[in-house]
């Protein structure tokens, strides 16, 4: 097995992998989650894969994709009860 950083070329395979998870979420909480629809999520993953604040790793066994994990760093602006990313912590 190999784990590598995904590229925009992996958007379709990540959408396929994500569809099974999405379907489970929908079955458990249809009031929160839509049914899986890969045709709509491919573009979402393409955007994520071009976002410099996001890193997506994909696990592969040979030519087979086994799974993925995505991490996105969100920069928060200053707000009344907390310090934003643009402020010092002092």
pTM of the predicted model as reported, rounded to 2 decimal places = 0.76
pLDDT at residue 43, rounded to an integer: 93
Position 30 in a domain: yes
8 has a pLDDT exceeding 70: yes
For 32-80, write each residue's pLDDT tens digit. 999 988 888 999 999 999 999 999 999 999 999 999 999 999 877 777 7
Which is nearest to 33 in space by CA: 24, 41, 25? 25
pLDDT over 80 (residue 81): no
Range of 47's domain?
A: 2-72
Residue 47 has a pLDDT of 95
Residue with the bigger pLDDT between 58 and 83: it is: 58
Q: Is residue 78 situated within a structural domain?
A: no
Domain count, the chain: 1
Between 58 and 84, the more confident residue is 58
Cα–Cα separations (whole angstroms), residue 32 to 13, 14, 24, 26, 47: 24, 21, 12, 7, 22
Q: Which CATH number goes with the domain that contains 60?
A: 3.40.630.30
């Amino acid at each position: 097995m190999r784990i590598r950083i995904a590229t925009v070329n992996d958007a379709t395979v990540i959408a396929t992998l994500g569809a099974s998870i999405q379907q489970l979420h929908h079955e458990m909480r249809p009031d929160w989650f839509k049914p899986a629809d890969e045709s709509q999520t491919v573009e979402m993953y393409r955007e994520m894969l071009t976002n410099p604040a996001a890193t997506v790793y994909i696990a592969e066994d040979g030519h087979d994709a086994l799974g993925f994990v995505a991490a996105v760093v969100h920069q928060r602006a200053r707000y009344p009860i907390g310090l934003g990313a643009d402020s010092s912590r002092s």
